[in-house]
Amino acid sequence: MNGPITPSLRRSVVVLGFAVWSTLAMASTEAQVPTKTVSYGDLNLASPQGAAALYWRITRAAQEVCGPAKQAGSHFPRPGFRECVQRAIAEAVAKVDRPELSAYHAQKEHHMAMVAAGNR
């Protein structure tokens, strides 16, 4: 894209960038951070359905960039995967900066905390 970024384009795309969780990547100044672009210009974020659809897209992008969830040949989760996904989602929601999406995210985080605590 060679032209200027317009306000409407800025509202319709969020780029998720995630830190690599390895010590080697943290030590290297030239380590590239994986990113994934999530478009949402087609969604009405003022509606609950639009906020939920964007949250789903952000979650899938976070899982792709942070993943894989499990190490090859293992049934156990890869260390740091869940934290990476949660942080990436939170950062993307903050970048979008829409109250409807933020409220949806808070609701999801509350639900996950309740499930983790065993209080469905």
Is 67 within a domain? yes
Looking at the domain assignment, is residue 2 inside a domain? no
Domain span holding position 60: 7-117
Tokens representing residue 31 in the block: 């380590």
User: Does a structural domain hold residue 1?
Assistant: no
- Is position 54 within any domain? yes
Q: How many domains does the chain have?
A: 1
Which of the residues in the chain have pLDDT under 50?
Answer: 1-10, 18-30
Q: Which two tokens stand for residue 58?
A: 């952000």
pTM, 2 dp: 0.72
Distance (Å, whole) CA 78 – CA 58: 20
